[in-house]
């Protein structure tokens, strides 16, 4: 075909380019991303984050205009909900195992896994209690009749509590006294209400609130390393990853430290 035969095609292309410009888009430009609009994230989080995650979410909401709905519960039970297809944008667990198990089942975006803290456990009892409880061995005394721990079948803090009690050889002896909470927040509520004499709870729930508590040595249990991840059931995975990064950002770490969450290598709470 000669030169004159190609001119109409060039005119058609030129006309199309003019039309694109008139519509406010240039060639190769994608439509605006839906992530630019305000979204609402559904975050499933361990109960130990009860005090710290809401204010972090509020900071992120103020910065981005997005909203965060937080569903608190036992890590094991929250993981089961994700397995059953619950539409969760971000899973903030109290351990790493639950997330690694979900990853093996290809239910999360592996590249979004990140540590956000290392937890500690404490002996906690009411501020008005006359009991002198400073160490785990005290739990065997006759005047201490009921002791609450989170259920070690599915709660990471309960697992740590059991390991600590086993380490000093009193796990079996304490069986008649034990009351199991579904999650670490419920476990502390048992002690707050006076339904038990003392509870083994998260440091994050002991700090900055009324009560008597003492830190349990961390060499008595496996490290309570905490991980977060974006599940594949997420409706807003990009925004969820943005919020995940925000949790570990310089804006949020002071709040995490205040509530007893440190990262590996950071100075532990004394």
**Same-domain status, 126 and 215:** yes
Say yes or no to pLDDT of 2 above 80: no
What pLDDT is attached to residue 264? Answer: 74
Residues with Cβ < 8 Å from 58, sequence gap 6 or more?
none
> For the domain that residue 127 is a member of, what is the CATH number?
3.40.190.10
What pLDDT is attached to residue 265? Answer: 72
Say yes or no to pLDDT of 7 above 60: no
**Same-domain status, 164 and 98:** no
pLDDT digits (tens, 9 = 90+) for 203-249: 988 987 899 999 999 999 999 999 999 999 999 999 999 999 999 99
Count of CA atoms in the C-beta half-sphere (13 A) of 269: 25
Look up the domain containing 84 and give its range.
38-119+224-258
Higher pLDDT, 37 or 257: 257
When divided into structural domains, the chain yields a total of 2
What pLDDT is attached to residue 124? Answer: 97
- Predicted TM-score of the model (pTM): 0.77
**Same-domain status, 93 and 151:** no
What pLDDT is attached to residue 36? Answer: 58
**Same-domain status, 147 and 210:** yes
What pLDDT is attached to residue 160? Answer: 96
Q: Which of 164, 189, 191, 150 is nearest to 46 (CA)?
A: 150
E strands, 154-255, in order: 178-181, 198-202, 212-215, 224-229
Say yes or no to pLDDT of 26 above 90: no
What pLDDT is attached to residue 37? Answer: 78
End position of a domain, from candidates 190, 205, 220: 220
pLDDT digits (tens, 9 = 90+) for 157-183: 999 999 999 999 999 999 999 999 999
pLDDT tier at 17 (50, 70, 90 boundaries)?
A: very low
Tokens matching residue 269? 């709470």
What pLDDT is attached to residue 263? Answer: 83
- Report the percent of the chain where pLDDT is more than 90: 77
Residue-averaged pLDDT of the chain:
87
The CB-based long-range contact list for 78-85 (8 Å cut-off, 24+ gap) reads 78/44, 78/45, 78/46, 81/44, 82/44, 82/107, 82/108, 82/231, 82/233, 83/107, 85/233
What pLDDT is attached to residue 208? Answer: 79
Kind and range of the H or E element at 125? Answer: strand 121-125
CB 204 within 8 A of CB 118: no
The pLDDT of 138-154, averaged and rounded, is 96
């Amino acid at each position: 075909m000669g030169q004159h035969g190609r001119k109409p095609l060039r005119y058609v292309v030129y006309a199309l380019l003019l039309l694109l410009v008139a519509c406010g888009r240039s060639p190769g430009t994608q439509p605006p991303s839906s992530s630019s609009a305000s979204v609402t994230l559904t975050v499933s989080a361990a109960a130990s984050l009860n005090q710290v995650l809401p204010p972090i979410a509020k900071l992120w909401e103020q910065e981005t205009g997005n909203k965060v709905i937080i569903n608190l519960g036992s890590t094991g039970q929250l993981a089961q909900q994700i397995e059953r297809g619950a539409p969760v944008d971000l899973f903030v667990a109290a351990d790493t195992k639950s997330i690694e198990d979900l990853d093996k089942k290809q239910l999360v975006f592996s590249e979004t896994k990140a540590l956000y803290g290392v937890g500690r456990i404490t002996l906690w009892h009411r501020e008005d209690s006359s009991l002198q409880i400073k160490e785990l061995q005290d739990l065997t005394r006759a005047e201490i009749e009921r002791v609450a721990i989170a259920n070690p079948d599915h709660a990471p803090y309960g697992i740590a509590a059991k390991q600590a009690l086993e380490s000093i050889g009193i796990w079996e002896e304490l069986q008649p006294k034990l009351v199991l909470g579904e999650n670490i927040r419920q476990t502390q509520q048992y002690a707050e209400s006076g339904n038990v004499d003392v509870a083994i709870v998260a440091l994050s729930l002991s700090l900055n609130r009324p009560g008597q508590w003492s830190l349990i040595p961390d060499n008595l249990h496996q490290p309570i390393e905490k991980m977060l991840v974006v599940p594949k059931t997420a409706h807003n995975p990009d925004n969820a990853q943005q919020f995940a990064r925000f949790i570990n950002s310089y804006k949020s770490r002071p709040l995490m430290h205040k509530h007893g969450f440190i990262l590996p290598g950071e100075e532990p709470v004394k």
